[in-house]
Structure 1
Amino acid sequence: MADRDVELLAIGAGPSNLALAVALEELAPDLARDSLIIERNKEVSWQPGMLFPEALSNTSFLKDLVTLRNPRSRFSFLNYLHATGRLDHFVNMGSLTPYRAEVADYLRWTARSLALVELQYGRQCVDIGPVWTGGTLTGWTTTLADGRTIGSRYLVLGTGRDIRIPEVLRAVDRDRVVHSTQYQKRIGGLRKDLPYRVVVVGGGQSAAELFYSVQIDLPECRPTMVMRSVGLNCYESSKFTNELFFPSFVDEFHASRPEARAQMLAEMRPTNYAGVAPGMMDSLYRQVYLDRLSGRSRLQMITMHDITSARDDGDEIVLELTDWRTGAIRELRTDLVLLGTGFSPQMPWAVRRLAERIGLSDVAVTRDYRLVVDRPSTAACYLHGVNEQTHGIADSLLSVMGNRANDILRDVLTGDHLDLTPVTAPAVAAT
């Protein structure tokens, strides 16, 4: 017996599960009262490492948790602005994209505004196991770090992807390696007056923001940006390709052949990965230009190089850089490595672990994001934000969250989860 039983348990109080909580409150109040969200942090915390004062969201404020599903919702970003007394100022700014710090505050406001769905903080999930009754999957048991357990019929995983740390850097001193998700906290603990040598790894938006911000946060540092690409490029952001981020495009993408999905993802990659927002690109180039004009030679960019090895040497890290054009090798010594390397394309650890517990060799989901279990089941598990290969490039973004919450809730309420015969769906390797 679990210490507590609920009908629906959602793990992680990020945007995905907050969108689900809003949908529950608006569309299924009875189920909402028997639903629980658990969050390991002490508050809703969205991209805390990258909440730079001037960082803008790349997504329109209209693509919030609910507006594309229900424009009249009290949980909209516009209502948040009204409730906090900032609507006039935001409208006067004349921008579709809010500051990232505003989005983070909107998510906290949404969590505080929930009236039916319970949200508990400081509850870390350490294990999830299936409950079998006579060979039928009938529920889930979630174990928390304090040893307590929560039983549920429905389980929704919204923990996000695992951070990506290049294999070559995993053996060096982790105190000197900082992923972008940890930047604000880790850099805030360093002395500001020391001439740190800093290497920023990556060629996308995160790396660009790290390179820009570290010059302000550590004013005496000497940053070097290392990337394997030929140089920084802006996001491809035409209004035509942006239509592939519409919630309505998910149906079209999901119905396509696997090889067609792969081609679409490859062609859409410059719209979301390995690109830099135009405003950041301009600011970054001005930094480099002024550095050259002043003669300081403080800033350096090394393009078309791979990091082929790394080692600790006393109080510094030594990186081996290989020029992929010529094969020439050089050493770069640094005090600190900042990683703008994003997130692993693999299924998150929690999902892979759960698949093992069920006995699945592959992770696959239905169109409504339900984990496919090849045995009879009256329970269901849903996966947020990790289904890019089957649901499109917008899957991890705010663009589809309100509609995805509606899809999941509809699947629960219509009883489509009552799978008494095995279900098949396009497989995604669980590696």
Structure 2
Amino acid sequence: MAATSEIFDLVGLGFGPANIAISGAITEAWKENPDFPIKSTLFIEKHEVFRWHPGMLLPGARMQISFMKDLATLRNPGSPYTFLSYLHSEGRLLSFINRGGTVPTRKEYSDYLTWASKKVQENGINVKFGHEIVDLEEGTEDTILVRYKNNRTGEETVVRARDLVISPGGLPKVPDFLAPFQNHPRVRHSSGYATSIGAIFESLSSVTRPLRVAVIGSGQSAAEVTMDVRNRLGSIPIDGEGRHTVEMLIRKGSLKPSDDSPFANEIFDPAATERCFNAPSKRLRDAVLEEYRATNYGVVNPLTLDALYEIVYDQRLNAQVARRTQTAEPSEPIIDIRTYTAVDSVKIMGDDKIAPPVDLLLTPIPNTNTSGKETFQLTLRNLATAAVTVESYDIVLYATGYQRQAWVNLLKHTGISKHFGLSPVTRKVNLRPTTDLATTEDYAVPASPIESDSPVTTSAQTSPPTSPETSMWGSAQFEAELCPDLFLTRQYRLLPKASQDGKALVPRIYLQGVEEATHGLSDTLLSVLGVRAGEVIADLSNRK
């Protein structure tokens, strides 16, 4: 292990859009104010190079937001890190204007983020790619010891941080019925679709019968994956009759359009963040999140819906023409949308053996058989009629969203976990705004020049759901360890608990991209990156 006494004013976990936006704000502050207190930075990123959703960089896929909701424009329109600055530096500004519209393709936005990641490094931001934080401990001189390792060599290094910003991004949300099979080479979350689908089809190259693909999910990613995999299936020959099939399995009665109308889009404005944080109760915050779910969750952009419906309509047309003229239908793959459909269980069939159902599996299925002979047997239940059917598929793709608890799994095993009431048994945390604090006796509540003027209010404390373990132990303390409440300031600072001697952890820890419950729908998205970065940097610069 390489030990060093080097102290960084700010160490960041992850180097995705959130921390690139923060890096840009820092480099701008360096130019404007020579006395800016954050003078040294280090960001630690586990990937070898910058990458942004490579698994969903599908041909023609477009962003869902205006290019002006970039890393910096809403914070500083004159920033060198805006999307317009990127276009100008790449010589495409006029071409983008002539193209019309304000929504770039996903490919172009990914390139913009790559450009910005390089630019902040050129301007003095230090980044360690291919490294990962493995532990955090209390250090001397009011610092945190950050232990990170080189993912290739395993070599560990320790540095000290005055403050820490955690931007972990999201991890695939795996349905329980697929958890034992998530490492199977023909089961993939949409986040890894584009980077793995070629190899998946290659593993099935010896199969000459029609292939069947299941796509689980009803949102934008599910719709895009469905259309893309259909296009790819069109180039795979079949020996004999039949057609390749892509089946969307959705729990709803139909695919729903996303609400991107102007008034609804105001839920992503910085003012909406302020309203959410200062809402008088958790119940009201949850109600607002539920009211606006149709802007982001389980919905499909209307243009994508139109394209998908056109495919389905053309299939119906072809079928009716073929029946009337008594001719063969085209051999192109078909899309079938199975509505009100839930997946009850999954088995692997093939090679004269059946894998046990999910509820009998204690560990994931090992990645052993890639011959293409096996299939996945899904037990499907119609939620409207309760009818049960069993279907076989060669590939299972799932677009079921993301979970954002990875930072909890890191912190709970570190030396600073005690400052936040975390322990190795913690399953998840309930993030709450500091305005929910009934008392400040147990927390070190900071004063900030940009803290909301709203007074601290008391709201009903919502108990986390009772688990079998808590019922067994009958202990409220144990329940609190499983699902503790953690509090965040308006400036995204995680509030430590005061120790028995009245002292709290001095280094500050900020969270990025995981605070939907406290800061609203925009927090996990790109909409407020620039504004949020400015707020975090302003709070960081007020170190006492």
TM-score exceeds 0.5? yes
Q: CA deviation at 1:130?
A: 2.8
Number of aligned residues? 411
- Aligned-pair identity in percent equals 34
- Aligned 8 A contact 1:25 1:32 in 2: no
5 Å-filtered alignment, 1:6-405, equals 6-28=8-30, 33-114=39-120, 115-125=123-133, 127-131=134-138, 138-144=143-149, 145=151, 146=154, 147-172=156-181, 174-191=184-201, 195-219=210-234, 220=236, 221-256=244-279, 257-295=281-319, 296=329, 298-314=334-350, 315-344=374-403, 347-355=404-412, 357=414, 358-359=417-418, 360=421, 361-375=484-498, 376-405=504-533
- Aligned 8 A contact 1:140 1:153 in 2: no
Q: CA deviation at 1:5?
A: 3.4
CA distance in 1, matches of 2:212, 2:29: 54
- Aligned 8 A contact 1:32 1:116 in 2: no
Q: CA deviation at 1:149?
A: 2.6
Q: CA deviation at 1:349?
A: 2.2
Could you say what secondary structure the match of 2:308 adopts? helix
Could you say what secondary structure the match of 1:72 adopts? coil
Query: Which letter does structure 2 place at the counterpart of 1:287?
Result: I
- Aligned 8 A contact 1:33 1:117 in 2: no
- Aligned 8 A contact 2:514 2:524 in 1: yes
Q: CA deviation at 1:378?
A: 1.7
Larger deviation, residues 290-299 vs 359-368: 290-299
Larger deviation, residues 25-34 vs 162-171: 25-34
Q: CA deviation at 1:177?
A: 0.8
Residue in 2 aligned with 1:422? none
CA distance in 2, matches of 1:371, 1:411: 12
Q: How much is the aligned-residue C-alpha RMSD, in angstroms?
A: 1.9
Q: C-alpha offsets along residues 330-378 of structure 1, whole Å, 9 cap, x if unaligned? A: 011001111111112xx42233330453122333321111111103122
Could you say what secondary structure the match of 1:175 adopts? coil
Q: Which runs of 5+ in 2 are unaligned?
A: 237-243, 320-328, 351-373, 422-483, 499-503
Q: C-alpha offsets along residues 95-119 of structure 1, whole Å, 9 cap, x if unaligned? A: 1110011110001100111211112
Larger radius of gyration: 2
- Aligned 8 A contact 2:186 2:200 in 1: no
Q: CA deviation at 1:252?
A: 1.2
CA distance in 1, matches of 2:37, 2:395: 49
Query: Which letter does structure 1 place at the counterpart of 2:41?
Result: S
CA distance in 2, matches of 1:326, 1:167: 23
Cα 1:356/1:377, change in 2 over 3 Å: same
CA distance in 2, matches of 1:33, 1:282: 51
Q: CA deviation at 1:6?
A: 1.7
Could you say what secondary structure the match of 2:541 adopts? helix
TM superposition score normalised by structure 1: 0.91
CA distance in 2, matches of 1:384, 1:140: 20
Could you say what secondary structure the match of 1:399 adopts? coil
Could you say what secondary structure the match of 1:276 adopts? coil
- Aligned 8 A contact 1:155 1:380 in 2: yes
Could you say what secondary structure the match of 1:235 adopts? coil
Could you say what secondary structure the match of 2:74 adopts? coil
- Aligned 8 A contact 1:178 1:337 in 2: yes
Q: CA deviation at 1:28?
A: 4.0
CA distance in 2, matches of 1:23, 1:41: 23
